[in-house]
Amino acid sequence: MRLKFTLALFTGLFVASSTLMADDGAAVTVLPGNPNPNPVCLGSPVSVSFSGTLTDPSNSTCEITITNTIWNWTASDETGQVASNSNGGASWTFPWIPANCGNETVTASATVTFQGTNCNGGYSTTASGSASVAVQAIHVVSIDGPTAGSLNPPPFAGGQEWTFDVTHSPHPDKHVVVFYKDCIYSSFNIKDGLQVKFQANICPNITSQDINNSEKWSKISGSDSGSLDGPSSFTFMCDTPSLGGVYRFNFDLGLCSDCVCSTNGATLVLPLAGAEVDAIVKADIVRADSFAVYVNAHYYWWQKRTHALIWFNNNGAGDYLGRPDNASYPTVWAYNQVSSDGFGAVATWKGIPIKIAKMSNFIVAYAARKIGVRSTEAWIANFLIGHGNDVSATESWNAGWDVAAGSSYDSTVATMVKYVWDKSDGKNEKLWPNYPPVDNYVAPDSWGDPDHQFTSPGFLYMTNP
Amino acid sequence: MNRISLIVLMVFLAGCSIAKCQTNFYEHVSSLWFSGKKGEVLQIAEQRLGKNPNDIAGLLLKIEYQSEMLQFGGITNDMTKVLEVSKKYSGTNFSKAFPLLKDDFEILNDAITNYPPEEYAADLKKTNTVGKTMSFSPMIKALQKDGYFATLPDTATNMDSKKSTNTSK
């Protein structure tokens, strides 16, 4: 009698038993595996199923029951073990992810433990089988360009689109990244000749001649800046991209529309900072003027100091909070993280990526001078606690102080943001300018979602400070 | 009139219900101050101090009023007293606000000793201004969070006094 491992015919047939020895004739046969899909895309999971059959001794009165089955499987770069009970199934699926091009052989062996009734014993026996899988895939890597620093770098394994969701953070989708700081001169102009090179590797090796030069690179989405150089070869260059954003490309071997692994995606990210805040700051200056008029009419000179923490510090009253953004030109969260209480985001201010803490320093300094505070030094000590009293903090404070005294907002801020750009913690230097205006701005009272909302310091909205 | 009745009457005369004084003391005095009823705030302060000269809230409100009216005589002594009695009160929120209180007193001391004449003349015209918040509102708010006003003024005083082994009533 031949028993497939899945069968559950053996339970409760006999009570009395005698010992069955493996060499009494019980045997296991493992049938060849069945890979799916086959061929498989490099880097993608493949299931390989095997089936096993237990043959009992020729003694017709002997009945055997499987009590346990252990499957061991081996591929060139991976091994594994799967256990099953007596009714565990005739086939097992191994989630193997091939890492090498070419033909792979997976070998599996089954060790079956069984019990016999009316037989001569209860023992185990083993057998093995193998399955062959052809690994044929496109494998895209970025092989040149200023692309170090990706939080989830290539290669892009075959047969996939490789989408990129800007909100996935802190673990973004797979991408090549190019930081702003690596692409600009000190003048903030984009460097000449910036190129990011992508290479499609084919497994097993295929040359352009083999497929009649029908392979093709194309851009699926992304800004219009830059160009594709050599899109009709296995290698292509993204030439001189000058605008931030997410660029998605596709490589098509040109074999057929539904061939396994005949197309593959790749994503190039020039991470955008938060959107442009200039209009918001200008509106806030008007609000700060109203604030100052009220304070000057109501409070004594020294009371402006005793009230300082209430106006400018408590509960974020002196801080821009949240992540400034534009739905059509979204910032990349993984590179523009914001804390749960709303701090740390990078905005674009006068065309330059700047941490929003600098905006806070600016507007508080502006308001401080407008309400007649006499010494900047004492106020800097008071209000920059927690923001890091570095050069960028001081300069942004001074800019607000100067604008309050009559300096041109446009020229003062334009000069300041360029000066402090490389004098902070470096986070803003990675992000590309995002020129469209912020479209997720809310008033402080309505703010509560730091990831999706951006707001001004609360003191600007105090009806009666 | 028994002791409780007297307290109830005094509280009522001060313009707030017992419930308000117990649970919304901060909101009540802030509202009075903001609407320009600063004299009523002084009354509340004096009533509390009448029960206990060491009442922190009473002292703070008195200093708030005196400084608002630019009446600086005796204010230094009151500030010293607040700092003394505050050391004996261990409310969590008030303890956090205490450094700010010391800063505010330093600012006030500077103002008293170096008040520029032109500023004084300008500020004198603002003494009856409505629509202001109190300088010491964070401390009053902290006291409320600590449950300082959960008992009636004199019992709050007793509680405070019991916290210190060196303080006699």
Q: Minimal Cα distance from A311: which residue of B?
A: B133
Overall average pLDDT of the B157-167 stretch: 36
C-beta separation of A270 from A245 below 8 A: yes
Tokens of A120: 């001569």
Of A294, A300, A309, the CB nearest to B123: A300
Round to whole Å and give the CA distance between A62 and A56: 8
Residue A348 burial (C-beta neighbours within 10 Å; 0-12, 13-18, 19+): buried
The DSSP bridge pattern shows strands A102-117 and A124-135 to be antiparallel
Higher confidence at residue B59 or residue A98?
B59
Select from A297, A298, A306 the Cβ nearest to the Cβ of B104: A306
Q: Look up residue B7 and give its two tokens.
A: 């307290």
Instruction: Locate the chain A residue with the closest alpha carbon to B110.
Output: A302
Choosing among B72, B100, B102, which should be mutated to test the A contact, i.e. which has the most A CBs within 10 A? B100
Determine what percent of chain A is predicted with pLDDT higher than 70.
78
Whether B96 has its CB under 8 Å from any CB of chain A: the answer is no
Closest by Cα among B149, B130, B129 to B139: B149
Mutating which of A290, A302, A304, A462 best tests the B interface, going by the most B Cβ atoms within 10 A? A302
Q: Per-residue pLDDT tens for B107-137?
A: 999 899 989 999 899 999 999 899 999 999 9
Beta carbons of B116 and A309 less than 8 Å apart: no
| Interface predicted TM-score of the whole assembly (ipTM), two decimals | 0.78
Q: Which residues of chain A carry a pLDDT beneath 70?
A: 1-26, 41-42, 56-62, 84-94, 115-125, 136-139, 203-213, 231-232, 255-261, 315, 374-389
Whether B132 contacts chain A with CB within 8 A: yes
Distance CA A278, CA A356 (A): 12
Please, are residues A39 and A62 in contact by the beta-carbon 8 Å criterion? no
Helix (H) and strand (E) counts in chain B: 10, 0
Instruction: Quote the minimal CA–CA distance from A464 to chain B in Å.
Output: 6
Contacts of B131 in chain A (CB under 8 A): 294, 298, 464
pLDDT at position A139 is: 67
Q: Minimal Cα distance from A304: which residue of B?
A: B135
> Is the separation of the CB atoms in A247 and A203 below 8 Å?
no
CB contact under 8 A, A302 and B116: no
The strand pair at A263-270 and A245-252 is best described as: antiparallel
Its pTM stands at 0.74
B126 touches chain A (CB under 8 A): yes
Give the separation between CA A265 and CA A251, rounded to whole angstroms.
6
State the pLDDT at residue A136. Answer: 67
Q: What is the mean pLDDT of chain B?
A: 81
B 54-93 → A contacts, CB under 8 A: 70
**CA-CA-CA-CA torsion sign (A199, A203, A208, A212):** negative
A155-184 residue pLDDT tens: 887 777 889 999 999 999 999 999 999 999
CA of A225, closest CA in chain B: separation in Å? 54
The verdict on B129 touching A (C-beta cutoff 8 Å) is yes
Which pLDDT belongs to residue A16? 29
> Which neighbouring-strand residues pair with A266?
A249
Q: How far apart are CA B123 and CA B104, in angstroms?
A: 18
